[in-house]
């Protein structure tokens, strides 16, 4: 499984809120979604009507949780983030994480990281979408935090 993406709850929720979960699949050769990430989505389903979509969609990519190495536990992350990083250490895999502390932990474990912003930019580069700006603005409306200057810098990297 080359360069699979191990996806955390936040990107799943954001892409579900804008009705574009297929972009997560299209931007990666394979997806893995740990049980703990799915459970994080399940716990929020009363507050977020798109959670049921994530729960149904994620079933085909779901993987069983594994033991968390002490070096990851030390970071005191959520169970979803910890599982994503632990799974990503097992092979040529990227962690799909938006949380800053989780991204730092992944980097400390030599795990490549991509977030919701990176997925959107990758979709533009791969031709899955014509423009990244409308997608990113929808993700921001859906709850993704992104500094406006950083957004503009990121869009410049894909010619927008």
The residue among 121, 93, 119 whose CA lies nearest residue 106 is: 93
Q: Count Cβ neighbours within 10 Å for each residue of 97-112 and write b for 16 or more, e otherwise.
A: bbbeebbebbeebebe
Question: What is the number of alpha carbons within 13 Å of residue 83 lying toward its C-beta?
Answer: 20
- pLDDT by residue for the chain (160 residues), tens digit each? 458 999 999 999 999 999 999 999 988 889 999 999 999 999 998 889 899 999 999 999 999 999 999 999 999 999 999 999 999 999 899 999 999 999 999 999 999 999 999 999 999 999 999 999 999 999 999 999 999 999 999 999 999 9
pTM to 2 decimal places: 0.94
* Strand ranges, E, within the chain: 4-7, 31-34, 62-63, 93-96, 113-114
Per CATH, the number for 4-156 is 3.40.50.1010
DSSP character at residue 142: T
């Amino acid at each position: 499984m080359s360069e699979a993406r191990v996806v955390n709850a936040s990107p799943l929720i954001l892409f579900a809120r804008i009705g574009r979960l297929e972009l997560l699949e299209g931007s990666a050769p394979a997806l893995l979604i740990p049980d703990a990430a799915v459970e994080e989505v399940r716990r929020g389903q009363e507050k977020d009507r798109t959670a049921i979509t994530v729960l149904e969609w994620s079933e085909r990519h779901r993987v069983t949780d594994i033991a968390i190495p002490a070096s990851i536990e030390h970071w005191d992350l959520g169970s979803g983030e910890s599982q994503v990083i632990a799974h990503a250490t097992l092979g040529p895999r990227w962690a799909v994480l938006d949380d800053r502390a989780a991204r730092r932990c992944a980097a400390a474990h030599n795990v490549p990281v991509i977030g919701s912003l990176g997925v959107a930019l990758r979709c533009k580069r791969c031709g899955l979408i014509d423009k990244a700006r409308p997608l990113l603005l929808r993700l921001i409306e859906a709850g993704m935090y992104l500094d406006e200057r950083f957004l503009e810098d990121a869009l410049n990297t894909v010619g927008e």
